[in-house]
Amino acid sequence: MRDGFTADDVSAQTGRTFLITGANAGIGFEAARVLAARGGRVILACRDESRATAAIERIRADVPKAELSFRRLDLADLDQVREAAAAVLAGPRIDVLINNAGVMIPPRSLTRQGYELQFGVNHLGHFAFTGLVHRHVDDRIVVTGSLAHRGGEMDYSDLGAERGYHNWSRYQMSKLANMLHMFELDRRLGAAGRATQAIGCHPGVALTELQRHLPMPLRYLAPLAAPFFNSAARGAWPTLHAATGAHVQGGDYVGPQGLGEVTGRSGPARTAGVARDPALARELWERSIDLSGVDPGI
């Protein structure tokens, strides 16, 4: 796998269809903009239609002929996830599914089914959606990780965060779950003889709307730190690399190549050893089936 990937390395995507969760803002928006500019058809799968419509208008201001559409997807409600998946299955086939949407360190909140929001949205909602639509995806399933996964631990004892809530450790756990899901998904797709592959990516440290729940002093300091971190556009480079890179293969994990993988061009990224633990991945897979009620069947 060659390193040094940027948006300029995205080849023509004419005739290819991409579905991006959370594409109305931040990294998802920037990825959608680049893919549309390269001729790809992009489905923005988002919770809020008005924000998705505004994003589509912004992209079309730069790319007048962009092929863009909206699909409602609320990852915090597993019933709605099923509705969204059914609508996707009734439409054209997808070349690349990009699981990008996420929440980061919010105040304690729950999904409609009662799971802590970060685990529920970042992992469980995406697990269910992917499990329902994966047979409709022909090429790649991109799972968005984070540097934070390296400090994560899987703990299923209090998924509603009723006995205590530490927002950062819950975020770390959700991102470790993303990594375990990606590796296990790719393994199972391969074992089933599928051509579709799962690939992971992380944006480094990118200043996006995802940081809106940072403590107020840090939010005020963020503009001063901006020169040292990725913009949303640069943070999207690993996403675009995973989705379109010619040298990327199933089970690869890409991210920024700068010091500490914080910024820079996209290339091979480092994972925590626990993220590649097959027993832990199988346990998460089976628990996720029970928690979501969705069995991917692979």
Cβ–Cβ under 8 Å, residues 218 and 224: no
Residue 37 CB contacts under 8 Å (≥ 6 apart), including other chains: 62, 63, 66
**Best CA proximity match to 33, nearest among 56, 49, 50:** 56
DSSP lists the bridge partners of residue 19 as 43, 97
Helix, strand, or coil here: 138? strand
> Which listed residue (115, 156, 165, 171) is catalytic?
171
Helix, strand, or coil here: 44? strand
The four Cα atoms 211, 272, 257, 146 give a dihedral, to 10 degrees, of -20
Cβ–Cβ under 8 Å, residues 139 and 95: yes
**What single-letter DSSP state applies at residue 266?**
E
Cβ–Cβ under 8 Å, residues 181 and 284: yes
Told to judge if 156 belongs to the known catalytic residues of this protein, a careful annotator would answer no
Neighbour tally for 33: CB within 10 Å: 24
Q: Within 13 Å, how many C-alpha atoms sit on residue 138's CB side?
A: 8
Catalytic residue numbers read 171
